[in-house]
């Protein structure tokens, strides 16, 4: 077996940040990343969900709607958590309120 001598290396302490300032500077990129994610992803998603909820509360009989599945129809009845949609003459489908994607006033 061959033996290769390895010299020991010691790190210099000159570049180490001091105390609390070093901790804040170390967390700054994480905080900046969270702020960017908030304004680019979280906030627009919350705004869109709020607008969708408001739109669902305004759905009434006679409105034309499109479901998330792509079914077009006319609202004939509104319940607390479901809507009855007429998709053809005398063909009515009961769908969940959350399944309505677009509301067009009829």
At 13, the pLDDT band (50, 70, 90 cuts) reads: low
Question: What pLDDT digit, counting tens, does each position of 27-65 carry?
Answer: 889 999 999 999 999 999 999 999 999 999 999 999 999
pLDDT computed for residue 1 by the predictor: 55
At 96, the pLDDT band (50, 70, 90 cuts) reads: very high
Per the confidence metrics, is the pTM higher than 0.75? no
Radius of gyration of the chain (CA): 30
pLDDT computed for residue 26 by the predictor: 85
pLDDT computed for residue 23 by the predictor: 81
DSSP for 79-103, please give it.
Answer: -SSEEEEEEETTEEEEEEGGGEEEE
């Amino acid at each position: 077996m061959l033996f290769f001598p390895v010299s020991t290396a010691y790190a210099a302490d000159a570049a180490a940040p001091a105390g609390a300032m070093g901790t804040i500077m170390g967390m700054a990129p994480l905080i900046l990343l969270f702020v960017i994610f908030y304004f680019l992803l979280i906030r627009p998603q919350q705004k869109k969900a709020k607008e969708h909820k408001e739109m669902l509360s305004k759905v009434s009989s006679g409105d034309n709607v499109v479901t998330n599945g792509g079914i077009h129809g006319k609202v004939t009845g509104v319940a607390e958590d479901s809507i009855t949609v007429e998709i053809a003459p005398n063909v009515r489908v009961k769908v969940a309120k959350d399944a309505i994607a677009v509301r067009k006033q009829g």
